[in-house]
Amino acid sequence: MKYVRFIYNGVERYGALAGDRIRVAEGSPFTSYFMLTSEEIPYESAKLLPPAPFSKAVCIGLNYRDHAEEFGLPVPETPVVFLKPSTSATGHDSTIVYPEMCHRLDYEAELAVVIGKEAKNVREEDALSYVLGYTIANDVTARDLQPKNGQWTIAKGFDTFMPLGPYISDEVKADTLMITSRVNGETKQKSNTSNLIFTVPYLISYISHVMTLLPGDIISTGTPGGISGMHKGDIVEIEIEGLGVLRNTIG
């Protein structure tokens, strides 16, 4: 299924993408009640929201070898982990706000794992049973603020710095997906999730031994090499095989 969260006629609901239409659901895929109804609406008439209303987005730094190399950093022996606040979330086709205090704003194309049920002290071999599906994240970064702060909360935590979407799919496997980013149509990053240093099951197990992962929480698995800056008016697109295209404008 391809899960979407959207606003239509002023009402927020979940549904399932079916071609150019959305089948409206009752309940939520993050609770025990989720049921598709017979009501359908055109996809184009819905405003998509971030498909997972996360309490925390747990993000992994330096999880592709070529991205560590472009910073001249060694490949980490344990995952580099940071959090984005829930207020950083925004949806497909929305605006990423260029902050006044930032002078270099970067995209980072990332595969995001969406947690479907509470996960604590999960074993690696059981980890995938806690996953609802996968979506696309853009780990937007105020690059010039990152080294200044010693840690990454400020550089990564502005409102609208976590575009997610357009939908969550449970129809893909995470380990061999093409991942691409484009700015104004020009390809910037091109890699494959087979290049992840720490795999999805490893990350779920590792993180769940530190903090309980709640339904709707996100693990953003890191970005490949090829990062660069964006400017106001730019259109940034991230495409992952089987997960569609996440498109945002810089404003």
Nearer to Mg ion, 94 or 141 (CB): 141
Q: Which is nearer to Mg ion, 94 or 223 (CB)?
A: 223
The single residue among 106, 108, 217, 239 that binds Mg ion, judged by CB under 5 A, is 108
CB of 60 to Mg ion, least distance (A): 7
Min CB(42)–Mg ion separation in Å: 34
Asked whether position 106 contacts Mg ion by CB under 5 A, the answer is no
| Strand order through the sheet with 229-230 | 141-142, 105-106, 229-230
**Rounded to an integer, what distance in angstroms lies between the CA atom of residue 223 and that of residue 64?**
6
What is the smallest separation between the CB atom of 67 and Mg ion, expressed in angstroms?
Answer: 8
State which residue, 139 or 217, has the beta carbon closest to Mg ion. 139
CA separation for the pair 67, 87 (Å, rounded) = 26
Which residues, at least 6 apart from 26, have a Cβ–Cβ distance to it below 8 Å? Answer: 33, 34, 35, 37
Number of residues that bind Mg ion (CB under 5 A): 3
Stretch that binds Mg ion, among 93-101, 102-110, 117-125, 174-182 (CB under 5 A): 102-110
For the bound state, the minimum distance from the C-beta of residue 201 to Mg ion, rounded and expressed in Å, comes to 20
Positions in 123-142 near Mg ion (CB under 5 A): 139
Distances (CA, A) of 66 to 6, 70, 194, 225: 36, 6, 13, 5
95-96 and 244-250 strand pairing: parallel
Separation between Cα atoms, residue 164 and residue 117, nearest integer Å: 19
x-marked contacts with Mg ion along 168-207 as a string, rule CB under 5 A: ----------------------------------------
Give the helix/strand (H/E) hosting 131. strand 131-138
- In the complex, what is the shortest distance from the CB of residue 141 to Mg ion, in angstroms, rounded to a whole number? 7
Encoded tokens for 137? 């994240």
Cα–Cα dist 199/209, whole Å = 16
221 binds Mg ion (CB under 5 A): no
Q: Which is nearer to Mg ion, 180 or 223 (CB)?
A: 223
